[in-house]
Amino acid sequence: MKARWRHCIDVKNGLFEIMNQGQHAEFIVKKYTSSPNKGSKDRKFISEALFTIVKNFSYYQYLAKGLSDHKDIDEDIINAYLFEQGIDAPDGPDWKKSNINEMAERKKAIQDIPHLLYSMPLWMDEIGTASLGEKWQDIRKISVEQAPIYIRINFIKTNMQEVVNYFSSLGIDHEVLSEDCILLKQRINLLNDIAYQGGWFEIQDMGSQSIGHFAHPNANSFVIDACAGSGGKALHMASLMGNTGQILALDINEKGLANLKIRARRAGADIIGSSNYSDDEKIKSLQASADLVLCDVPCSATGVMRREIDKKWRLTQEKIHHLLETQRQIMSDASKWVKPGGKLVYSTCSVFPMENEDQVNQFLTSNPDFKKLEAVQLFPESGGHDGFYMCSMMRS
């Protein structure tokens, strides 16, 4: 099988925009696969090539060129991917051929260079090894696997049995894992599915779902989601609360909050309201008002690398230090909204202790009116959930 020159040009251009210009991988994949002139096989080749090369960039870069500190995007790295897939390089204008024998030799050599084999930035690999030891070796391997697809049932609109019957009627192979979580055993796009559009379920990793259950929001309570993003956890909590009480979703990202409004309408979650941090009067009114405050803070995303495939390439050590400061500030500010006897839940999708228990311990030292209740660290599992940290604290 020989690759098509036009497809390889699309992959080359897309890689440059992701790796050198910092564009998000999902956006770029849509850009190069949305043309009506491209058939399903064309879209499949381009999307798989882009996602696979970005996730395994250091690996393919080494196969193509050996050791390199630069994110060079040229024919060699595309040829390395094609070599790995057993596909011949294209014939086309100015398309440079690569030495297959040299790539085969580098493939043997890279087996002894773990951070390149599993495409991990060296500085990140050093932090992971120092803080997690052998556990990091497992995380590193899992980070380049294909992520499973999990479904979360929305109890506002339906129940588990109804969704199970629906999937069975469509011949979708699945497994029920908990009261509201289903694992799909086949890869299928459900975004245009009538049940999804009707708000019956959301696509959400099982580990991410664990945070909603861990927070344990009570019916008829007032909950603040301090870093709501596009609202995945707010929607889950609304489902667990039986759509009673009130959830206030806060974020600085207006696009995320706009998306949350669309998702909340679809889910029938009318207890969710939203606001951004520029509304000073609203923020001031929140002092000591909430039964539960969830701080799902921005982080390194080292627990979800097989899903957020490009974030590791945009991170730097300097950005990590800035994230640590941001995490501390968010937890400190949001803690003031917890009423006496209420709970503060701090969570991340990181596996690094410096973003997790270290942050909680520092907060508790500075805030003696809070008491630690429980903490859970989920590490990514092969064929299973992603990595998350969560800790609940009560205000006395």
Asked if pLDDT for residue 56 goes beyond 90, the answer is yes
Asked if pLDDT for residue 69 goes beyond 90, the answer is no
pLDDT tens-digit readout, 251-278: 999 999 999 999 999 999 999 999 999 8
pLDDT band at 68 (very low <50, low <70, confident <90, very high): confident
Asked if pLDDT for residue 71 goes beyond 80, the answer is no
- Distance from C-alpha of 109 to C-alpha of 91, rounded to nearest angstrom: 29
Q: Give the pLDDT score at 279.
A: 87
* Residue 6: partners with Cβ closer than 8 Å, 6 or more residues away: 92
- Distance from C-alpha of 286 to C-alpha of 377, rounded to nearest angstrom: 29
Asked if pLDDT for residue 364 goes beyond 80, the answer is yes
How far from chain centre, in Å, is Cα 82?
27
Contact 349, 301 (CB under 8 A): yes
Asked if pLDDT for residue 70 goes beyond 80, the answer is no
- Distance from C-alpha of 94 to C-alpha of 74, rounded to nearest angstrom: 11
- Distance from C-alpha of 248 to C-alpha of 282, rounded to nearest angstrom: 11
Taking each helix axis from N to C end, the angle separating 232-240 and 206-215, rounded to the nearest 10 degrees, works out to 50
226 DSSP 8-state letter: T
Q: Give the pLDDT score at 197.
A: 97
Question: What's the whole-model pTM score?
Answer: 0.95
How large a percentage of the chain has pLDDT more than 90?
94
Strands 201-203 and 338-348: unpaired
Contact 328, 359 (CB under 8 A): yes
Mean pLDDT across the chain: 96
Beta-bridge mates of residue 182: 151, 176
Q: Give the pLDDT score at 93.
A: 77
Burial of 37 (0-12, 13-18, 19+ CB in 10 A): exposed
pLDDT tens-digit readout, 233-245: 999 999 999 999 9
